[in-house]
Chain A
């Protein structure tokens, strides 16, 4: 018996993880009445694995989500317990923020924010079936027997669709350890014609801090000066916790090797493909036999509480083996496991079936975000959630979808990769995936995306005014360093900056081009500059120091855009284009690229085929 719920929604979001929360908040903040449905109200924005946010490329994503008015940056700024910038000795494009979160606080704050959002209803319920009429989604039914109706549905199912947990050779259904799995939904999707695949991921055991001898481990403190994730967070002054570095040894590896017959991974029980960049410890021991030690960062899961997360040691070996190998490690001699590590297999829907708006091609109004798209990572999920929420809302409002270019943000790189490239293992963002990496920096995420966020309706007045002020400062400060010169008569300055013999006047801009001079030094000799914010001056410095490289990347972007702007009409008939191979034809028909540029990124589509398509378009007067 299904009971129709009396209230009709515009957007219904299924799942309240990192993707679902962003999707629901974006949709509600854009003015759509929104329902957020989750299997468990106590696990909102749960960090199922690593209790941390950010890192290379992921930190970039968080900055972009924040610039567009998403919640993740604010949430980690509010609940982070250790902040560390990575790659500080490398260039600005590859520096990234990373923070340890208080896992429970992170979840609680996100739940609170969602509860406060006016147009957003948060409810517990497990979705069994999607309701589709004439190719468009109209609602869904829960296991509890309620039918909810809406114009758009965003699915963010995480690891819950037919989730199967493996610990040793034992396995059981579950979406996360101790939680239910969603058994009905992927069948519903299959009936709608979607291609469903299976992936695997894993997590390490959580250890009791009380049982660890920290005196034997190397301590890793956070940064003295915290640089927040969010553009609107001015300052974070919070007590920080330490992480620790532990190491496996030959004994550990021997224990693991001797137990491989009890590993579901090596005995062939697990079918799903795991992430290449995050192998389990048994995988590492087998694949890199010459490495006699593997490092693990030991991360506290909260400000209070005892659970510690040992990174890099995810496993699906039986609990007794887990305990034995941990106890072979220095500092862990008497360790107690609080929750054993496990592997989980789950269903995903191959994302090449999506449009660049994250709407499925088969069912109008149905959007997918997060692990259902074969990705991994909280930041990747949140980014997709934000975009899916935005585009679901825009669909209800009769607006065109927002699609971010590969040259505009990691968000754009990610979505383009997902809808264009086959998923072979869980997708994670790396800076090397971004062709225009030098332009897509954390420090300029606000410049790249705040205006878009404002246009969409997610950037409020406070953020907008702060942004405009920074932009004004950047322009003013650039003018000053262009116009102000140091002459040989400014003896004190010449001496302070160690400029040696100056023959004639030199502008501050030219001085800043020298590798040994930084903006802080100029600030010291040019008091006018100290009126500007650190962030504004940083932009000026980067623009001057990297001018040549930025210019070259912009030229690349221009070439890239040429092909990007040649649109492939939706009704293009690839069967009519001569001289392209059947294989290429099939791929084009399947993926339906929106531009010649996207077509050129499809694997197996040769430059020759692109040339042929281009010629065909010209002949048909499409381009």
Chain B
């Protein structure tokens, strides 16, 4: 039972990180039909920016996080304007490859500036041990889950009540109709990219605090694919539930099955199964064209 609880909490922690990265991913896909392979690199950049502001410049963590988020948002806008906009209307493979090229470029820039050695992050969330029933977890993991939930709540409210949020939903629904209602689709695309970069940066700060700051963090980007496919590529609630399921599944597979190496691949097996039986995911829109 202790082990179960322990694994559940670990799974939910990684699920929280997946959820934050996946929300940005879904947002970009919903508004502009682009699959962003550089989402993991946004997380990486967020982690390193936070390390730079808090660890190297020694700023207070609250200021550090705010600057990190602002810089990430700006980066998202610049990338959308320079790289993605010229490719509107190009075939899927071009769009996929351009984000892959982008991920390579961003990773190289981070590596060139900060090197490949893992850096110790000045943990601003304390790692004190907390006892829940019989399980022992560090407080930062609980904080990670809390922060992720808070952010996701903010986004839900944003999409429900904020004018920009409603405009984003309109663009996702029908670009032409949104255009005719006076919504600037280009602005919405830019907004989607900046929000995606921001959420990924927050996820990066959380991961940095729980683990460490290293170039391997961008691997999270690939783990988000099972999450979004499971939840449905165009569904934000789906991304959350998918993230929780994949996070838990990886934790249980790592803890209970054999030597734990199954955890690396279990989510991809789920991905294949989902694609075969229900390609639009648990909550996605059923608009798969059959061939």
A and B bind: no
Residues of A within 8 A of B (CB): none
Residues of B within 8 A of A (CB): none
